Amino acid sequence: MDLGLKDRVYVVTGATRGLGNATARELTADGAKVIVTGRDEKTAADAASALGPNAVGVAADNSDPGTPDRLIAAAREH
């Protein structure tokens, strides 16, 4: 099903496993670009790599006040 997501950028927190990863997988399958976040850089990078070239992994601590700005910057670059 084409939901018109091609080339749109989404930030999915907690996307290294579980529901977050399933969400990121479905978004990339429909052509979206996804910023995959997780608590550690290697885990986020591995999850993004498994999703393909439209995913980028970013380590993010959602309790850190600087995280939203970093994620927005990553989304703009992608």
Q: What is the pLDDT of residue 4?
A: 81
Mean pLDDT of 1-10: 82
- Alpha carbon 23 to its chain centroid, in Å, reads 9
What is the DSSP track for 7-67? T-EEEETTTTSHHHHHHHHHHHHTT-EEEEEESSHHHHHHHHHHH-TTEEEEE--TTSTTH
Average pLDDT over residues 60-69: 93
Residue 78, pLDDT score:
82
Alpha-carbon gap, residue 27 to 56, rounded angstroms: 13
Q: What domains are defined for the chain?
A: 9-77 (3.40.50.720)
* pLDDT of 68 over the 70 cut: yes
What is the pLDDT at residue 3? 74
pLDDT for residue 37? 96
Does 1 have pLDDT greater than 70? no
